[in-house]
Structure 1
Amino acid sequence: MAEADPMIETHAPETKPGNPKRRRALLGIGGAVLLAGVGYGGWYALVGSHHVSTDNAYVGADTAQVTPMVAGQVAQVLVSDAQTVKRGDVLVRIDDSDARIALADAEAALAKAKRQFGQTSATGSSLASTLAAKDQAIAGAQAQLSSAQAALQKAAIDLDRRRKLAPSGAVSADELTSAINSYAAAKGSADNARAALQQAISAKDAAKGDLAANQALIDGTTVVTNPDVLAAQAKVDQARLDLSRTVIRAPVDGVVTNRNVQVGQRLAQGAAIMKVVPIRQLYVDANFKEGQLAHVAPGQKVEITSDLYGAGVVYHGTVVGFSGGTGSAFALIPAQNATGNWIKIVQRLPVRIRLDPRELDAHPLRVGLSMDADIHI
């Protein structure tokens, strides 16, 4: 066994004492991280998991488009951009000269229709009297026919008697000729009386037809319910409505915007001349990521702040519902994910939030402003 070289010294490894300050610092950092993690976990379990929020939210409104219902030249423009108006306030006046003339013409036609109805009613009475007179004419014609038939019968008897006496010479030829002439005259009178009776009957039938036609125009109606009068009244109502539409009024309470009408301008029916934004009926469309909406439902409460007023002003709203599709689904050129290289992009779905009108009165907003929305789920 070899002996150890006395020149070589054997040393045990030295252990450096640890730095207590560094150790305490690391322990402190670790404890802080652990405490922060526990705190965040507790906050998320108690608060964070009950909220979803987004800063991709904007103010919107169902604006009222103001358009003229009748064409014409602008006589007055009584409002300007950014002016607050109430429902029914006059915005624009159109020259109403043509409308007034049209109304006067329609009223004249209505008066004429009423007069014609009165005339038709009076004509009915006149035709009834004429019909009664025709009955009397028929009675007179019948009497004349009876008289003519009696005269004819007498003339026939006289002629027959004389013809029987002529062979014996008791009646002269002149007397027989006179009897023949008398019979012919009586027969002609009877024929004329018979024709006169037929003529009187035909005249009565014509008068009866005229009366029936006249009665058909007025039976079951009055001057108010007569069809011709009703048609004329409808034209008057239309003309009066067109006249009222020459005054364009605000359809809702709100603020005037996009005014593009000037005095003297010729307006076409239906042309857009301005908008009225109902600032007390604003809403917020908040675009949430699809992964945030699992527990969002209509009726949930929302706290909203605006970039305009900052965090010091909090609006309280209510979830109304969800849009029918994401923004990309209704884009002018929708995404074609079935072609080419596809990269999944998280979609956002608009959520409609109703605002409190009283809070809007206290702190008015405008369409398009940016908002932060926090839904309590």
Structure 2
Amino acid sequence: MSAALPASVTEAIPDRRHARRKPLLLALAGAVGVIALASGAWWSLYGARFVSTDNAYTAVEIAQVTPAVAGTVREVRVIDTQAVKAGDVLAVIDDTDARLALAEAEAELARAIRQVRGYVANDDGLGAQVRAREAETQAALARVTAAEADFERARVDLARREALADSGAVSGDDLTRAQNAFAGARANLLAARSAVDSARANHHSAKGVRQANAVLIDGTTPGDHPEVALARARRDRARIDLERTVIRAPVGGVVARRQVQVGQRVDAGAPLLAVVPLDEIHVDANFKEVQLDKVRVGQPVEVKADRYGSDASYHGFVEGFSGGTGAAFAVIPAQNATGNWIKVVQRLPVRIRLDPQELADRPLNVGLSMSVRIDTAAAGSAP
């Protein structure tokens, strides 16, 4: 059995342990202080300049493809997930009706041109008629002058014979012939004057007809006449309708939500499919309203996609702010005027434009989850 240690030795052991522990605690406290100071300095000098959120998703302005003309679908040349370029043929509508409409419109245009040319030619003919009626009026006036001379001669001759009739110097037959000649001259004068009135009326009518025809062609040519312009516009519309039977991609992208089938009867404006332009994808980051005090348009942004993990980063800039919060544009907006109101921090969508080259290297799809961090210390314009 071992001998017991002296009391002085046993009392010295805890003192030595306490002496060794005190420097360790001081060192630990110093390390914690240094870390706290470093963290505070890092946050004040660097960390506080960033705002971030993982409530962000990719989005894009999807191009809805609809036909401009009605008809029966003859061909569908794409399927969902197929990549297309702007101008590629997506579907073809049967063009039989459109071709017939174009042929009819071209015939109407040709007829309108011929009709206007007829107006021009008719103007020349009507001008000749006006000149002829004017000549007839002048001839009628000349006949009136001759009839007036005959009438005056017959009147004087009758007056002489009537003066000599009482003395017997003129026979009764001569007097009768003079009276008949006077009556005939008077009738001829009346007829000549009536002919002048008729000629003048015909002349006036011919001028009116020409003026009415001139209104149809005044200030125009057969090429720019309103009737021709109208027929040409109808022809051009029919030609465009024929071209629209071939439905092309408005933008490049990936086909999605294809609803059209061969043989389907479609109306103008009916949705057929959508084209998603993946090279124009942006990010809608839903920041809390309390985070946006220092956020400005143009500030640089770092974005990470859950699809590629944290090692892959995208870079871009703040492109703009939504006009309202998500709650403001909800189908059923919140009724904050009720008595059961509870304040909820709202989120405002911020649009982030991504670097096109990075987007081409790592393509994204619509609706993917993203993490966004904005450098608010960088320069930018006011939102």
> What is the deviation of 1:146?
2.2
Distance 1:154 1:339 in 2: 116
Cα distance change of structure 1 residues 344 and 30 upon mapping to structure 2, 3 Å threshold: farther
Cα distance change of structure 1 residues 152 and 290 upon mapping to structure 2, 3 Å threshold: closer
Task: Using the TM superposition, name which of 313-322 and 174-183 deviates more.
Answer: 174-183
- Say how many residue pairs are matched: 364
Alignment partner of 1:53 is 2:52: yes
Q: How far does the alpha carbon of each residue in 1:350-377 deviate from its partner, in whole angstroms, 9 at most, with x for none?
A: 1110011111111100010001111112
Distance 2:135 2:64 in 1: 74
Distance 2:268 2:45 in 1: 60
Cα distance change of structure 1 residues 153 and 270 upon mapping to structure 2, 3 Å threshold: same
2:14 is aligned, of 7, 14, 17, to 17
Aligned residue in 2 for 1:250: 249
> What is the deviation of 1:291?
2.5
Q: How far does the alpha carbon of each residue in 1:293-320 deviate from its partner, in whole angstroms, 9 at most, with x for none?
A: 2221111111111011112211001011
Aligned residue in 1 for 2:371: 372
Q: Find the residue that maps to 1:310 and give its secondary structure.
A: coil
Q: How far does the alpha carbon of each residue in 1:21-67 deviate from its partner, in whole angstroms, 9 at most, with x for none?
A: 76676556545544442332233233311211111110000111111
Distance 1:15 1:338 in 2: 75
Task: Using the TM superposition, name which of 62-71 and 26-35 deviates more.
Answer: 26-35
Aligned residue in 1 for 2:41: 42
Distance 1:195 1:224 in 2: 46
Aligned residue in 1 for 2:161: 162
Alignment partner of 1:329 is 2:336: no
Q: Find the residue that maps to 1:17 and give its secondary structure.
A: helix
Distance 2:362 2:179 in 1: 123
Cα distance change of structure 1 residues 139 and 82 upon mapping to structure 2, 3 Å threshold: same
Aligned residue in 1 for 2:133: 134
Alignment partner of 1:78 is 2:77: yes
Opposite residue 95 of structure 1, the aligned amino acid is: D
After TM superposition, the score normalised by the length of structure 2 is: 0.89
Opposite residue 104 of structure 2, the aligned amino acid is: D
Q: Find the residue that maps to 2:372 and give its secondary structure.
A: strand
Q: How far does the alpha carbon of each residue in 1:229-253 deviate from its partner, in whole angstroms, 9 at most, with x for none?
A: 1111111111112111111111111
> What is the deviation of 1:15?
9.0
Cα distance change of structure 1 residues 282 and 186 upon mapping to structure 2, 3 Å threshold: same
Alignment partner of 1:124 is 2:130: no
Opposite residue 361 of structure 2, the aligned amino acid is: A
Aligned residue in 1 for 2:314: 315
Q: Find the residue that maps to 1:70 and give its secondary structure.
A: coil
Distance 1:343 1:195 in 2: 103
Aligned-residue identity in percent: 53
Superposed counterparts of 1:275-354, under 5 Å: 275-354=274-353
Opposite residue 216 of structure 1, the aligned amino acid is: V
Q: Find the residue that maps to 1:375 and give its secondary structure.
A: strand
Alignment partner of 1:238 is 2:248: no
Cα distance change of structure 1 residues 15 and 349 upon mapping to structure 2, 3 Å threshold: farther
Distance 2:339 2:30 in 1: 50
Q: Find the residue that maps to 1:328 and give its secondary structure.
A: coil
Distance 1:117 1:125 in 2: 13
Could you say what the CA RMSD is over the residues aligned between the two structures, in angstroms?
2.0
Superposed counterparts of 1:87-126, under 5 Å: 87-126=86-125
Cα distance change of structure 1 residues 343 and 128 upon mapping to structure 2, 3 Å threshold: closer
Opposite residue 253 of structure 2, the aligned amino acid is: G
Q: How far does the alpha carbon of each residue in 1:162-218 deviate from its partner, in whole angstroms, 9 at most, with x for none?
A: 211222223232332222112111111111111112211221111122222222222
> What is the deviation of 1:16?
7.7
Distance 1:112 1:345 in 2: 72
Task: Using the TM superposition, name which of 171-180 and 310-319 deviates more.
Answer: 171-180
Aligned residue in 2 for 1:69: 68
Opposite residue 146 of structure 2, the aligned amino acid is: S
Superposed counterparts of 1:183-198, under 5 Å: 183-198=182-197
Distance 2:178 2:130 in 1: 41
Instruction: Identify unmatched segments of 5+ residues in structure 2.
Output: 1-10, 377-383
Cα distance change of structure 1 residues 37 and 133 upon mapping to structure 2, 3 Å threshold: same
Instruction: Identify unmatched segments of 5+ residues in structure 1.
Output: 1-13
Aligned residue in 2 for 1:10: none
Cα distance change of structure 1 residues 325 and 16 upon mapping to structure 2, 3 Å threshold: farther
Distance 1:69 1:177 in 2: 94
Distance 1:195 1:311 in 2: 110
After TM superposition, the score normalised by the length of structure 1 is: 0.90
Distance 2:241 2:267 in 1: 14
Q: Find the residue that maps to 1:312 and give its secondary structure.
A: coil
Distance 2:101 2:166 in 1: 94
Q: How far does the alpha carbon of each residue in 1:62-86 deviate from its partner, in whole angstroms, 9 at most, with x for none?
A: 1111111111111111111111111
Distance 1:193 1:332 in 2: 92
Task: Using the TM superposition, name which of 246-255 and 34-43 deviates more.
Answer: 34-43
Distance 2:321 2:81 in 1: 31
